[in-house]
Amino acid sequence: GLLSRDKCHEYPLTGFDFGVVNHGYGWVFPKGDHVNVGLYVAHHGRGAPGRQQLADYARSRLGSDGLTCVQGFPIATRGHEILPGAGRVLLTGDAAGLAEPLLGEGIYGAILSGQMAASSLLNQGDVIADYTRLLTGWRRELRSLHKLTKLFYGTLPLAFGVLKHGLRKPLMQAFADGLTVGQCKRRVFGATSR
Q: 3-class DSSP state for residue 35?
A: strand
pLDDT digits (tens, 9 = 90+) for 116-171: 999 999 988 899 999 999 999 999 999 999 999 999 999 999 998 888 888 888 88
DSSP 47-109: ----HHHHHHHHHHHHS----BS---------TTTS-SEETTEE--GGGGT-S-TTT---HHH
pLDDT digits (tens, 9 = 90+) for 3-16: 555 555 566 788 89
In this prediction the pTM is 0.81
